[in-house]
Chains A and B, each alone.
Chain A
Amino acid sequence: MKDAETVKILAFHAEKCKGCLECMKACSQVHFKTDEGSEKSAIQISKKNGSYIMNACDQCGLCLDLCPVGALTRKKNGVVWLDKKICIGCQACVGFCPTNSMRKAKNHIEPFKCISCGACVRACPENALELVEKQVQLIKKTVYHKLGAE
């Protein structure tokens, strides 16, 4: 299989966001079939210094090299995907995620993450979210592996 060259990732326009959290409700619907949002959403909107910030997986793939059972792969469309059937819930990807975007919800041992499905983009009444295409090579990150501190 040819490696994916591009991937769509979420971009956030903070100036448009009004904090309605519709995006989080839509996301929890995708992952857990509930509109409760909060910790069951892969996208997290919070307020910092008076403006809204977003946290969601940027598809860097650092976690791919941490999964001991190969549950994490980069799909043909470039998205980093967690196969819950293979996952053994070790939380290595959660603990090592450089942006803290790999999440764990209560009572579910397997983590979950943004899969760039666009549900949140569609749900946002203010057009504050969009999916933008990036070159995988440019956003790729590698887990620390050198000798000595950086």
Chain B
Amino acid sequence: MVESQIPISDYQTGNTLHKWDLKKLHSKHKTLHKYSYKTNSINKGYANRTLYINLTTGEIKEKPVTNQMKKTFTGGRGFGLKLLWDEINPNTRWDSDENELIITTGPLCGVTQYPGSGKSLCLSISPSTDIICDSNVGGFFGPYLKFSGFDALEIQGKAKEEVIIVIDGEKGNISIETAPDEETNSHLLAEQLTYMYASEDTDRSRQKISVVSAGKGADNSYWGCMNFSFFDIRRKVARLKQAGRGGLGSVLRDKHIKAIVAKVNDFNGVSNHPSDSDTIAKLGTKVHEEIRDLDQYQCKMRTVGTAHLVEIMDDYDLLPTENYRFGSFPKASKIYSPEFFKHFSKIIPDGCWHGCTMACAKTVDAFSITTGPYKGQKVTVDGPEYETCGCGANMSLWDPLWILEFNFYCDTYGIDTISSGTAIAFYMEMYEYGILNKERCAGLELCFGNGEAALELLHRIAQGDKDEFIQVAGKGIRRVKDWIIDKGWGESQLVNDCGMESKGLEYSEYVTKESLAMQGGYGLTLKGPQHDEAWLIFMDMVNNQIPTFKDKAEALHYFPMWRTWFGLNGLCKLPWNDVEPEGNAETDEPAKVPEHVQNYVQYQNAVTGWNVDKEELILQSERCYNWQRAMNVWMGRGRRKDDWIPYRSMGPVTKLEYLSRKDRYEKVLIENVEVKQKELERMSTEEKMKILYDYRQNQYQKLADSVYHRRGWTPNGVPTPQKMKQLGINDKKMLSMLQEKIDEDEKAGLNKWGGNYKGKEKPPVKDLKYWEKW
């Protein structure tokens, strides 16, 4: 029996305790720039201004949030896009002085009554992709930024020396200070700054601090994540949530920011000053009750978090194993969620923002570290989430304790578990083929299952090891593919087919070979292959609910728009469909969870005082989604060629993969490609693989055709000015830029459908300039 009702002050983690002379550390700070502002109260979800900081010039100013800005961009990620559009240019790269790191909130961010309402949306030009990457993250920073008086924080330029930015919402002061002696790695730095900046020496006071940081891994790789802290008054630990994708932590460190601290005064359940707090409380309580009554039968988020997916994915052949070669593995049960459940500390409100009773942020307390700089210490590990477990499977590492250590070091080093795990899995496959070897890998025996070598690689990246492999390895799959091919070590098709990246970003952890819609869910995205736009595998592959190209295109319109909406508002997606109301399965569209959609309509109206319906929510997203795609186009991307995905995500690259699922593939050849049984019997495996290869590549292009058409884009994937105008976007610079790009594509002969249509098959429309009639 787990003990419950332990008084908060009595709870002990058993972690190694640190004694720091915080006064001495603080006395070394030198204030470089200061700014005072008038604290104001939030009105119906908006602080109505953003904060701009230029680290090169020291300029700090407020920018107003206009009604027009709210109308076009809603908030959150939308505001981030608007701010970037105003400040960067098409040639801006991740380390350019004008590149910005933006942290936004959204009008619903900071509400405490509705589960999952504390998300920050972070944006920047990514080192991995050279286009905008947006990444959402929990923790207290977003709500505290807003309660301090700002809807977004925009940081441009680079500091000459390492600095921390302190936003004191209590006093209305912003300061940029040097912080020479603090730690860099996040689990220590977040704790130091939390204790240092708390107004009083109490846990409650420490809970009113949140720290954004990234560790030494972010200094030396393109995988940098940003850690957002949330102080846990029971564990007395500054826990961490990650804005993981796209290397935003690397941008933070490139700007020489050690940390950003937000500090708030007392806040309460109506600090957002919503239009109608009773309705929000009613909606929120209903969801709390659903979680109370149903979560144990549905996703078990409260007990194991997203790790519950490991066993489901393994069952459906979707758990990426050995660099996505396989979707299940005999050893997989060793990392099923019950194996982590054993280690999780229980009966603690584990939400990463107040009031989130879904509480998926599980932890292991007093975890004993066995390698690296913290060897022998006992620490709190936040996680692992499903994706991190999936990385273990991908590297063929089936030890929960290893996964916990990998999770801990990735977090504290400020490294994204997904990008690093997927990338190391690729390096391991190349190692298996002899394309990489011990000598080429800086002495590391980087074969599948070698956990020691994988952790050693992380440690050496974090140390800034100058070895050629370590340097390139930390830049991710795309750079390593080019490096291998340049060196002449591997055949380029094999290398390109196996490396699981698109747009320069590593894939997250789902096998998509048998779900064409999910291939689109990863490939036909704005920032790269991340499952936050669409997760269609069950709808497509298991339930066969979207059989035609048109159906798939509709899903690849609706779901990315719907999921984008959470990021415009400062919300987490999980309480939408990771708990479903009773009777959801009997509704017309269970995948949409209609009752919860209606909750969100009422919720947004209750905060903002608007009177919108569910169609307007999609329109809010569509404006921002198209804007972001248009910005990709502006930066020389955002075309069909950029939506390329590696063949490993479509089908079997190697003979071993083909043979391991031979029946499945031969069924496709007979039923879909219409190869005769007798012909098939005469063919070699290589011949069959080639036919499947061509078929699946063509299917993907046909899917892209349908999706571009559904989204109102040109056949080369460019949002059309007509579409933008339909959405109410009249920015002249944007519209003329799009027309120019379309004209350029026209000249280059790129305005054509990508699929090869035979017989009765037809492209979505004959007229390649169908939008001109709008």
Contact = CB atoms under 8 A, between A and B. Distances in A.
Nearest to A65: B347
A89 B112 contact: yes
Interface string A26-53: 0000000000000000000000000000
Interface string A108-133: 01100000000000000000000000
A92 interface: yes
Contacts of B113: 89-91, 109
A94 B338 CA distance: 29
Given A89-B113, A142-B5, A69 B354 contact: yes
Given A68-B354, A89-B268, A145 B112 contact: no
Q: Main SS of the interface on chain B?
A: loop
Contact of A150 (B8, B296, B354): B296
B284 A91 contact: yes
Interface string A43-87: 000000000000000000100111111100110000000000011
A20 interface: no
B297 A61 contact: no
A50 to B, nearest CB: 28
B204 interface: yes
B346 A145 contact: yes
Nearest to A98: B292
Nearest to B349: A68
A36 to B, nearest CB: 17
B278 A107 contact: yes
A150 B296 CA distance: 8
Most buried by A among B233, B297, B337, B357: B357
Contacts of B285: 91, 94-95, 104
Contact of A147 (B233, B278, B281, B337): B337
Contacts of B8: 70, 73
A83 to B, nearest CB: 11
Contacts of B739: none
Contacts of B351: 68
Q: Which are the 5 A-B pairs with shortest beta-carbon distances?
A: A89-B269, A95-B288, A90-B355, A109-B269, A142-B4
Interface stretch (B298-306, B582-590, B620-628, B747-755): B298-306
B277 interface: yes
Given A74-B5, A88-B268, A95-B357, A148 B207 contact: no
Most buried by A among B7, B281, B287, B300: B281
Contacts of B304: 147
Contacts of B454: none
Given A87-B269, A90-B269, 13 more contacts: A64-B5, A67-B349, A68-B351, A70-B203, A91-B288, A107-B277, A140-B5, A142-B4, A143-B347, A144-B296, A147-B303, A147-B304, A148-B300
A94 B355 CA distance: 11
B349 A65 contact: yes
A95 B292 contact: yes
Contacts of B289: 95-96
Contacts of A3: 7
A149 interface: yes
A133 B302 CA distance: 33
B259 interface: no
Interface in B287-342: 287-289, 291-292, 296-297, 300, 302-304, 337-338, 341
B683 interface: no
Interface in B191-217: 203-204, 207
Nearest to B8: A70
Contact of A110 (B269, B296, B300): B269
A99 B269 CA distance: 23
B303 A140 contact: no
A60 B341 CA distance: 26
Interface string B35-52: 000000000000000000
A142 to B, nearest CB: 4
Given A90-B112, A90-B269, A109-B277, A96 B292 contact: yes
Nearest to A144: B296
A90 B286 CA distance: 12
A61 B5 contact: yes
A92 B349 CA distance: 10
B2 interface: yes
A145 B303 contact: yes
B530 to A, nearest CB: 28
24 contacts: A65-B5, A66-B349, A67-B349, A68-B354, A70-B204, A70-B233, A70-B234, A74-B5, A88-B112, A88-B268, A88-B354, A89-B268, A90-B113, A91-B281, A92-B357, A96-B357, A109-B270, A110-B269, A140-B4, A142-B4, A143-B347, A144-B292, A144-B303, A146-B296
Contacts of A150: 296
Contacts of A88: 112, 267-269, 354-355
Given A92-B357, A140-B4, A145 B349 contact: no
A3 B267 CA distance: 30
B166 interface: no
B281 A109 contact: yes
A72 to B, nearest CB: 10
Contacts of A149: 296-297
Contacts of A96: 288-289, 292, 357
Contacts of A67: 349
Nearest to B291: A95
A97 to B, nearest CB: 9
Contacts of B354: 68-69, 88, 90
Contacts of A74: 5, 7
Nearest to B292: A96
A68 B4 CA distance: 15
A104 B5 contact: no
B303 A146 contact: yes
Nearest to A95: B288
Contacts of A110: 268-269
B65 interface: no
A123 B347 CA distance: 38
A107 B564 CA distance: 32
Contacts of B355: 68, 88, 90-92
B348 interface: yes
A96 B8 CA distance: 19
Nearest to B296: A149
Nearest to B287: A95
Most buried by A among B234, B269, B300: B269
Contacts of A107: 277-278
Nearest to A80: B5
Contacts of B270: 89, 109
A86 B204 contact: yes
B280 to A, nearest CB: 9
A17 B540 CA distance: 59
A4 to B, nearest CB: 11
B4 A143 contact: yes
B382 to A, nearest CB: 16
Interface in B89-112: 112
Interface in B264-285: 267-270, 277-278, 281, 284-285
Contacts of A87: 268-269
Contacts of A143: 4, 347
A64 to B, nearest CB: 5
B772 to A, nearest CB: 52
Contacts of A95: 284-289, 291-292, 357
A139 to B, nearest CB: 11
Nearest to A142: B4
A92 B287 CA distance: 10
A145 B347 contact: yes
B272 to A, nearest CB: 11
Given A89-B113, A92-B288, A92-B355, A147 B5 contact: no
Interface string B1-44: 01011011000000000000000000000000000000000000
Most buried by B among A73, A86, A104, A109: A109
